[in-house]
Amino acid sequence: MQNLLRKPFKYVDWNASYFIIGLNIAIYLLMKIFPNLIGYFSLNVIAVIKGKMFWQFFTYMFMHDPNGISHLLFNMLGIFFFGISVEKIMGSKEFLLLYFSSGIFCGLFSFAIYYFTGAYFVFLLGASGALFSLLFSFAVFRPKDKIYIWGILPVPAPILVAAYTGIELASHFFNIKTGIAHMTHLAGFLYAWIYFIVRFGVNPWKVWKNAYK
């Protein structure tokens, strides 16, 4: 089982990141025409349990808020800046496995939280969980790279991950009402951490520690 989990894919580069971005944009435009799609393809506890809409654990990550473009724009820019780089390093097959498995994990994680907290009327949508896995992966693959906040403030990638973790935890536990699924984002970080340990035998903490000795 250990060898199977770590068996590498043959390296290929299909530019899958561009396909994911294009698909998200196409679905967003479709949602503008058919807004009722949000009820069928975003993730909701009642829809899954009573409606048996189990596909929502996959489709929610392609849905974005149709009332504005900022949600879509932020996520697609994130995939453009981090996803393309991560895909070039690990190859398209590994990238797609990471992206979709992290998205599904984040959906299951969020579903459990909504179910046990009684948040039955929340509709989870967006690629943010998978995107946070890509950001985490970027920080492991390129720990010395700096990300420029607002285009001017350079922040090392691992520090940005740590900062986001703190912000998401604070926003969740202090109950800051932003309409953002903070725990879904953290689930993306958690999944990527586990993915690197299980799939590659790499401890992200050791990578970051060695990079800044």
Choice between 183 and 42, residue whose per-residue pLDDT is larger: 42
CB 154 within 8 A of CB 148: yes
pLDDT at 179 exceeding the cut of 50: no
pLDDT of residue 170: 61
Predicted TM-score (pTM) of the model is: 0.91
pLDDT at 181 exceeding the cut of 90: no
Q: How many domains does one find in the chain?
A: 1
pLDDT of residue 176: 45
Q: Which residues have C-beta within 8 Å of that of residue 195, sequence separation ≥ 6?
A: 98, 101, 102, 133, 137
Choice between 41 and 67, residue whose per-residue pLDDT is larger: 41
Tell me the pLDDT tens digit for each residue of 96-120.
999 999 999 999 999 999 999 999 9
Using DSSP, state whether 10 is helix, strand or coil.
coil
pLDDT of residue 62: 97
CA distances from 72 to 77, 79, 179, 181 (A): 8, 11, 14, 15
Question: SS3 helix, strand, coil % of the chain, rounded to 5?
Answer: 70, 5, 30
Tell me the pLDDT tens digit for each residue of 118-156.
999 999 999 989 999 999 999 999 999 887 776 678 888
Share of the chain above pLDDT 90, in %: 68
**CATH code, domain with 75:** 1.20.1540.10
Could you list the residue range(s) of the whole structural domain that residue 27 is in?
Answer: 2-6+13-211
Residue 203's pLDDT band, with cuts at 50, 70 and 90, is very high
pLDDT at 174 exceeding the cut of 70: no
In the DSSP assignment, the letter for residue 175 is: T
| Mean local confidence (pLDDT), 158-181 | 62
Tell me the pLDDT tens digit for each residue of 6-46.
889 999 999 999 999 999 999 999 999 999 999 999 999 99
